[in-house]
């Protein structure tokens, strides 16, 4: 007798906060303090979650990223980054670094120091896989921003359908991908923990990447980033996601 296979339902649509809730990836978002300022000093932690295409199985947390914004002056701020993502064979990729950005609309990077390392299943460093990416500039790169910088700069944008930005993307602060555009799409309701809230959505399109959507609350705090099968979900306990 042939073995009966369990039913699997194809997701069949792009990830959104509403769909993430249906798939069990989130229930509610962390509270945003009333004094939260996108151009101030803050720390946002995001759980990195992936979907394998089916509703019932193979959807999981694969890591986290912690971003800390530190104002320096009226002209610059520093973005501290710590990211951990689980790989195959219980290997973990860890990225640490700082990016000095200009206080302009694109959070234009001026100088950065990033390190990438790997740990094995026993949390021991694999030395031969380590690398360093330094960008010791003396001025910002005109018309460009980084992928991590976008998590910061989108919080400072007005919720206005006339708002549209063009720029070149530095993916991982190393790979240049030209001709990108970020624009405001509108307001979308979601119910979390029996509360109705409104989310504001920005969309990023450009060469060399899949579309990205950035979902913010009314206080301009970035709650979710989605792209195809991957989501970054604001979560105060994000660092426990792969422990």
**Contact (CB, 8 A) for 84 and 93:** yes
Give the pLDDT band of residue 89 (cuts 50, 70, 90): confident
Our measurement of the distance from residue 107's CA atom to the centroid of its chain's CA atoms, rounded to an integer in Å, reads: 15
Reduced to 3 states, what is the DSSP secondary structure of residue 163?
coil
| Average pLDDT of the segment spanning 56-66 | 89
In a domain, 243, yes or no: no
User: For position 171, what pLDDT does the model report?
Assistant: 94
In a domain, 58, yes or no: yes
> Taking Cα atoms as reference points, which of 203, 192, 204 lies closest to residue 234?
192
In a domain, 171, yes or no: yes
Cα separation, 175 vs 224, in Å, equals 24
- Domain residue limits at 174: 38-238
Cα separation, 3 vs 76, in Å, equals 62
SS3 content of the chain, % helix, strand, coil (to 5): 10, 50, 40
The whole-model pTM stands at: 0.92
| Average pLDDT of the segment spanning 119-145 | 82
Residue 153, token pair as written in the block: 């700069």
User: For position 158, what pLDDT does the model report?
Assistant: 96
For 208-217, the pLDDT digits (tens) are 999 999 999 9
**Contact (CB, 8 A) for 181 and 164:** yes
In a domain, 3, yes or no: no
In a domain, 208, yes or no: yes
In a domain, 30, yes or no: no
Out of 40-44, 171-175, 179-183, 231-235, pick the least confident.
Answer: 171-175
Cα separation, 231 vs 218, in Å, equals 20
Domain count within the chain:
1
In a domain, 51, yes or no: yes
In a domain, 203, yes or no: yes
């Amino acid at each position: 007798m042939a073995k009966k296979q369990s039913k699997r339902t194809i997701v069949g649509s792009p990830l959104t906060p509403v769909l993430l809730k249906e798939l069990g990836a989130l229930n509610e978002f962390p509270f945003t303090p009333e004094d939260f300022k996108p151009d101030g000093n803050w720390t946002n932690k995001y759980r990195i979650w992936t979907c394998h295409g089916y509703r019932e199985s193979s959807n999981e947390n694969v890591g986290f990223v912690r971003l800390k914004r530190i104002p320096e002056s009226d002209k610059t701020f520093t973005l501290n980054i710590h990211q951990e993502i689980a790989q195959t064979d219980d290997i973990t990729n860890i990225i640490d670094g700082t990016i000095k950005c200009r206080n302009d609309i694109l959070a234009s990077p001026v100088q950065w120091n990033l390190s990438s390392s790997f740990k094995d299943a026993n949390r021991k460093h694999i030395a031969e896989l380590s690398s360093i990416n330094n960008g010791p500039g003396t001025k910002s790169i005109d018309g460009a921003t980084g992928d991590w910088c976008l998590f910061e700069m989108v919080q400072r944008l007005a919720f206005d359908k006339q708002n549209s930005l063009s720029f070149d993307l530095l993916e991982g602060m190393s790979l240049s991908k030209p001709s990108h555009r970020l624009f405001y799409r509108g307001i979308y309701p979601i119910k979390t923990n029996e509360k109705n809230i409104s989310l504001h959505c920005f969309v990023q399109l450009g060469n060399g990447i899949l579309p990205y959507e950035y979902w913010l609350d009314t206080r301009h705090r970035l709650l979710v980033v989605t792209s195809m099968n991957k989501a970054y979900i604001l979560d105060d306990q994000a660092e426990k996601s792969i422990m």
